[in-house]
């Protein structure tokens, strides 16, 4: 995990479709508190598959829900925008809240 938006690993995609590294908020920023529950699994509504994210990413979403514009689906093997072209959420957390909301 990196807090550097210019880290070239963020733009390199591995053979499994994931980025070489992911951007997260710093430990100090995440320690300021969460505005959403920390959740670790979300479902891609298009395929119905659940993907698990790491602790720092889960906390980054909880601190700043619209920090990310898109996320990865393990079944589809690629990233999708959190909100699709028609304005509909593409992913939901286990509690039913849209990812990015
Ligand atoms: Zn999918």
Euclidean distance between CA atoms 62 and 55, whole angstroms: 10
SS3 69: coil
Euclidean distance between CA atoms 70 and 100, whole angstroms: 8
Distance, CA 71 to ligand 1 centroid (Å)? 10
Angle at 1 between CA 90 and CA 21, to 5 degrees: 65
Q: What is the pLDDT of residue 39?
A: 97
Closest CA to 88 of 78, 100, 75: 100
Confidence of residue 91 (pLDDT cuts 50, 70, 90): very high
Distance, CA 75 to ligand 1 centroid (Å)? 5
> Per residue in 31-82, pLDDT tens?
999 999 999 999 999 999 999 999 999 999 999 999 999 999 999 999 999 9
Q: Please give the model's pTM, rounded to 2 decimal places.
A: 0.94
Confidence of residue 13 (pLDDT cuts 50, 70, 90): very high
Distance, CA 52 to ligand 1 centroid (Å)? 12
Euclidean distance between CA atoms 35 and 85, whole angstroms: 26
């Amino acid at each position: 995990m990196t807090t550097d938006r210019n880290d070239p690993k963020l733009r390199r995609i591995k053979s499994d479709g994931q980025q070489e590294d992911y951007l997260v908020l710093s430990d100090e920023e995440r320690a300021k508190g969460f505005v959403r529950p920390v959740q670790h699994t979300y479902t891609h509504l298009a395929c119905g598959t659940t993907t698990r994210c790491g602790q720092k990413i889960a906390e980054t979403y909880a601190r700043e829900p619209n920090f990310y514009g898109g996320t990865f689906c393990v079944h589809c093997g690629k990233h999708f925008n959190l909100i699709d072209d028609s304005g509909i959420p593409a992913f939901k957390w286990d509690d039913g809240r849209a990812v990015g909301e």
